[in-house]
Each structure stands twice: as structure tokens, then as C-alpha cells.
Amino acid sequence: MDSHCEHPSLLHGDLWNGNVLFDYDGPWLIDPAVYQGDREADIAMTEMFGGFGAAFYRAYDSVYPRSKVYATKREIYNLYHYLNHYNLFGAGYLGGCERGMKVVARV
């Protein structure tokens, strides 16, 4: 097991604020692309498109704090999604691709 991933977790796989709905019963996660992997991959994706708000991350970290290398992992995990979005939707995602590639080059 990777020293920066304690154990595999069940992941949503497409966890961003557009895939969370709310009603009187609480939140609903929609449009999953489920797989097992590092829990921080889902958390990283939540930060791509505006995030979930500071209260979400405080609550998450109070129960299961992110690793000390999360900032690096976030850029690497999100690189795939930025490359995919660049391919599908164009140059607006180039900055995220470049940022991720710089992090990969430093690792």
C-alpha cells in the first residue's frame, strides 16, 4: 500500500458540487462513477469546480483529516479530470493541466 494512502475506500468518482442535491431528507449524491481508491481523490475533485464550502472541509477534517501531502495529491488526482475536460471542452482547462503537470514533474 502507498504510504500516503492508508487503505482503499469506496469513492463516488465524480464528486463535485453539481452532483450533490438536497431535499427535506438531506443530501443526495448523483451520477456516480464508483471505484475503490484513495479517499483523497474524491476530496480533491470536490475542489475543482467551486468546492463545497469551508464548513464541509472543516467537518471532514474533524472526522478524518487529510494527509500532510494532500495539496500535492490534489493536483495529481485532478490532472486526469483537467486533461479530460481540456480534451472535451477546450482551452479553459489548460491552466489546470499545466499546474498538474508541474506537480508531477516535481515528484
Write out the three cell numbers for 70. Answer: 494532500
**Residues that are catalytic:** 14
| pLDDT computed for residue 50 by the predictor | 85
**Domains along the chain?**
9-106 (3.90.1200.10)
> How many angstroms separate the CA atoms of 39 and 2, rounded?
13
Strands (E), 4-86: 9-11, 20-23, 26-29, 35-37
| pLDDT computed for residue 1 by the predictor | 46
Full-model pTM: 0.89
DSSP state of 65: P
> How many angstroms separate the CA atoms of 21 and 87, rounded?
27
Residue 72 near residue 38, CB atoms below 8 Å: no
pLDDT tens by residue, 65-95 = 999 999 999 999 999 999 999 999 999 999 9
> How many angstroms separate the CA atoms of 70 and 92, rounded?
24
Residues of the chain with pLDDT under 70: 1-2
